[in-house]
Amino acid sequence: MLGAAKAAWRWVRSAPGTYVWLLALLFTTLFLRHLPDNVEERFLGKRSTNLHHLAEDPLRVLFSSAFWLEGGGWLGYLVLFTIFHATAERWLGTWRWLCVVVIAHVGATYISEGVLYEGIRHGYVAESAVNTLDVGVSYGLAGIMGILVYRIVDPWRYVYLAGLLLFYGVPLIFATNFTAIGHMSALLLGLACYPITRARAGTWNPMDLWHSRRIAGLP
């Protein structure tokens, strides 16, 4: 038990950016749970990266929107951050990892909101959409999922990439909205960050896990 705790602590220490971010999200999620629903919506609305706020105070909302989870779900993000963000941070280093997160978060926000703006301008979307609620960490997560393609050896990287394109592509085809556009944009931006990975050695072969389980006598 003590050995497992030490191993977990070593893992957390090896990805400080990921777990400081998660800790901040835990505090903000607990804070939101004590707000009435009508107050919560207005509170998050002031931190939303919608068209109105991007035009008036972009730096503030681009930063603050990344520290709130609409609708809660922190435990789910604990798992996702550990699998994807922590793995990427350990591989790339904290500053390179952060660069990918910022590129995906900011870039996908502007792409998706830009598409939304064009929809409003041409009358396809109601003008009230300038105040659409848009907070959360999913664009940064999609970008990190994208860059991890380069962490996996052939041919498994292509299986992983196909899964990502399917996961983010289906909503884009069948339920097109600015969020679906943002997620696909973030994924592509993560893939475009390939130059950041060139100086980072080491790849991961999923078969290594299977071989290690066989050596340990596990099913």
What is the model's pLDDT at position 128? Answer: 83
What's this model's pTM, rounded to 2 decimal places?
A: 0.91
Query: What three-state secondary structure class fits 182?
Result: helix
Residue 180: inside a domain? yes
- Is-contact 151 201, C-beta < 8 A? no
Note down the domain range covering 74: 14-30+43-218
Say if 190 falls within a structural domain: yes
Task: Considering only CA atoms, give the Rg of the chain.
Answer: 19
User: Is 10 a residue whose pLDDT tops 80?
Assistant: yes
Does residue 2 lie in a domain region?
Answer: no
What's the total number of domains in the chain?
Answer: 1
The separation between the first and the last C-alpha atoms of the chain, rounded to the nearest angstrom, is 22
3-state helix, strand, coil in the chain (%, to 5): 75, 0, 20
Res 215: pLDDT:
45
Give the tokens for residue 119: 């929809």
Kindly state whether residue 22 falls inside one of the protein's structural domains: yes
Q: Measured between alpha carbons, how far is 159 from 212 in angstroms, rounded to an integer?
A: 21
